[in-house]
Amino acid sequence: MKSAMPAAKPKAADTGQLFGDIYAFVFSLLLSSALTGFPLIGGTFFLCGSIACSLLDHGDMALLTKGQRLFQRILYGVLLAVDFLLIFFYPYDVSGRHVWTIFAVQLLVFSSDIIVSAIKKRMSAGKPISYGFYVFLESLLAVTGGCIIFFACPDKRILAAAYLVMFALHVGQHLKNLEPAAPFSREVLALRRSEYRQGYAYRLYELASLFVNMAACICVILVYCTISLTSGQIVAAMGVALLCMLLAALSARLYMNRKRAKEELEVTSLVLWALAFWLGGLVLYCNNLLTPAGSVWKTFVGMALCSYGISLTLSCMREVDSLLQLSTALYAAEDPAAFRAAAKQRNQTVWLVGELFALLFLTFSMTVTRSSYLENFACADSLKPLLLIPAGILIAAAFVTLLLFPVNNRYVHKLKRLLRMREEGKTNRALQAQMESVFVAKRRRPVGINILKGLLRPFFRHKVIGREKLVEDEANPLVILCNHSEIYGPLAAVINLPFYVRPWVISDMVVDPETFAEFFRRNNLNDIKWIPEQWKTPIALRLGKISVWGMNQLDSIPVFRNKPAKLIVTLRQTISAMEAGDNILIFPENPDADPEHPGYLTEGVGPLFDGFVMLADAYYRKAKKCCRFVPVFADRHARTITVGEEITYNPQADSDA
């Protein structure tokens, strides 16, 4: 029976505020493009306001280390330098009325941010807060901005509706994440961050999160700025993007809740599928840009796919974030507030860097094709796809990074089981060590062996007869006994058994390539006369590297045949694996039982080694549990795996005997 999951779920670092700020930046670019033909005016005003608000909000800055504050100041300096160069030296050919309209709108947006910052300070000081007054002020700012656009731009009044949509999204995300400043010092946060980074899984996730968030920032901004939009289309574009974001978040939440209830949620695989969907949408969008007859509706479809893929990816990454927050309990002090604060600081830095890159890309495109902007309000067709290449590279980098992420559903379940045992005051050293090897030590996802199993599965697809007899129990796993039938039995069992197993493998195939080469040449290659002698050793060595790699990817347990002194190593590793909840797969046939006909039988089951029976007694002595053996038979002709009746070790019968 599977154990119950912990009821409490950690709160993930929210990326919603980041996304709301990105869309505020997008609106400023689109508004500026619609009014003047130059999106950079709105972009520069927005970045100046963002920097000013960050400098005024000392709460987050106070938690940065000296090196981080230096990096932030350098980043702010670069952003301000780029902004001033664009504002004072770029030859804008626009009317002053439109420029001041854009400036006034941006001033209202950042007045909202200043209000939020003031409320956070009051919350931290324990002072009463009037949310009604806060909503009144935000509503006043929204109405004022809408009126400015409505009366200043009579021919583009529909932009006022787009402003209200953007402002509601921007303020709504700030209100959703409204919480007091972190109740700890800069030194505590630096200590917690260094503790978190001890985990290899956390470092991989942190790198993937950096790639994903920066790609989202660049992709959203540049996708919208490479579309030639009229005033009416701006409202439609933001509406479509918002709808796609909400649908993606809702579908991801429903799917993950359903899979989580069945304990079948493979969150890493889900993120990989989301990244693939996002990248596919970006490719379709770029393909339409390269098509001379590309239509507006196809552009909107590509934009919608990108928005859906981005939101789906960020929703899945939130689940990974929650998982990593759980895993830090293995090696760091439990401090959820510090975990979220570290993620927030990382996201804010990524957001600024992403906006800077997007602004630089737009500046380059405008400088090269300034006439095209004046005529069409968009990048030259030849440069549009090039602007999105950085986002594609970042998505691909995140995909590769997450391919190495070592965590799957099985380890998530084990981690929650371990944490539940801790809450109950129990210990399981074997499970603790295994979880540390997954989340803390440098361990990579077995991508290669999974791909190989996927390629072999069509050739070794079998029907499992008697599946109901394989009763899983993580507190007392199964020991499955299978016929060998040369290489056929191991392949059929590993590929078709309905759950994870750790196989016993002869040590000559696991230890090192040289040992395997000697073993394989002696037992296989020497009998093949048509292979030249000088080729046999190189062939065996290359196959040895593949064997050692594959057996390690399978988490196999080495069996030291004919070495009684080392048999204890096999038993210890096996018992440790079983205490951690792993099922064991053993092929006990003896290929040397008949000296006249050495080798494994291809039909039926040959004589068995009886050494594996020692496992039952050793497991009982160590764990005080009765080992459960289940025989299975892989039939190459019927293409079936037949499960026999479970046999439970009886220590009393053994002592009576």
CA dist 40 and 201 (Å) reads 39
CA dist 494 and 103 (Å) reads 65
Helix, strand, or coil (residue 398): helix
Would the pLDDT of 444 be above 60?
Answer: yes
Q: For residues 13 and 341, is the Cβ–Cβ distance under 8 A? A: no
Whole-number pLDDT of residue 516: 80
Q: What is the pLDDT of residues 102-128, one digit of tens each?
A: 888 888 888 887 887 777 777 767 777
Strand partners, 501: 583
CA dist 571 and 569 (Å) reads 5
Of the listed ranges 27-31, 400-404, 640-644, the one predicted with least confidence = 27-31
Burial class (CB in 10 A: 0-12, 13-18, 19+), 415: buried
- Mean pLDDT computed over 137-160: 82
**Residue 358's pLDDT band (cuts 50, 70, 90):** confident
- Can you give 337-349 as a three-state secondary structure string? HHHHHHHHHHHHH
- Can you give 3-41 as a three-state secondary structure string? CCCCCCCCCCCCCHHHHHHHHHHHHHHHHHHHHHCCHHH
Give the amino acid at 469: K
Q: What is the pLDDT of residues 470-508, one digit of tens each?
A: 988 888 999 999 988 888 888 899 999 888 899 998 888
**Residue 332's pLDDT band (cuts 50, 70, 90):** confident
Burial class (CB in 10 A: 0-12, 13-18, 19+), 536: middle
Strand partners, 567: none
Q: For residues 27 and 242, is the Cβ–Cβ distance under 8 A? A: no
Give pTM, 2 decimals: 0.81
Of the listed ranges 95-104, 538-547, 578-587, the one predicted with least confidence = 95-104
Whole-number pLDDT of residue 5: 39
- Decide which of 400 and 168 is more confident: 400
Burial class (CB in 10 A: 0-12, 13-18, 19+), 95: exposed
Phi, psi values for residue 315, rounded to 5°: -65, -40
Q: For residues 438 and 407, is the Cβ–Cβ distance under 8 A? A: yes
Tokens of residue 74, six digits: 């350098």
Q: For residues 484 and 589, is the Cβ–Cβ distance under 8 A? A: yes
Would the pLDDT of 15 be above 70?
Answer: no
Whole-number pLDDT of residue 464: 92
Would the pLDDT of 178 be above 70?
Answer: no
Whole-number pLDDT of residue 395: 92
Q: What is the pLDDT of residues 370-421, one digit of tens each?
A: 544 434 434 445 666 777 788 889 999 999 999 888 888 888 889 989 988 9
**Residue 73's pLDDT band (cuts 50, 70, 90):** confident
Q: For residues 338 and 202, is the Cβ–Cβ distance under 8 A? A: no
Residue among 467, 456, 481, 545 at smallest CA distance from 509: 545
Give the amino acid at 85: L
Whole-number pLDDT of residue 2: 40
On the CB side of 484, CA atoms within 13 Å amount to 17
Q: For residues 461 and 496, is the Cβ–Cβ distance under 8 A? A: yes
- Mean pLDDT computed over 32-52: 76
Whole-number pLDDT of residue 378: 45
- Decide which of 161 and 582 is more confident: 582
- Mean pLDDT computed over 557-563: 82
Residue among 339, 325, 380, 355 at smallest CA distance from 78: 355
Residue among 125, 106, 123 at smallest CA distance from 175: 123
Q: For residues 60 and 21, is the Cβ–Cβ distance under 8 A? A: no
Distance of CA 639 to the CA centre of its chain: 37
Whole-number pLDDT of residue 8: 47
Q: What is the pLDDT of residues 225-237, one digit of tens each?
A: 666 555 566 667 6
In angstroms, the first-to-last Cα distance of the chain is: 32
Q: What is the pLDDT of residues 503-521, one digit of tens each?
A: 998 888 887 888 888 877 7
- From the CB of residue 250, how many other CB atoms can be counted at a distance below 10 Å? 12
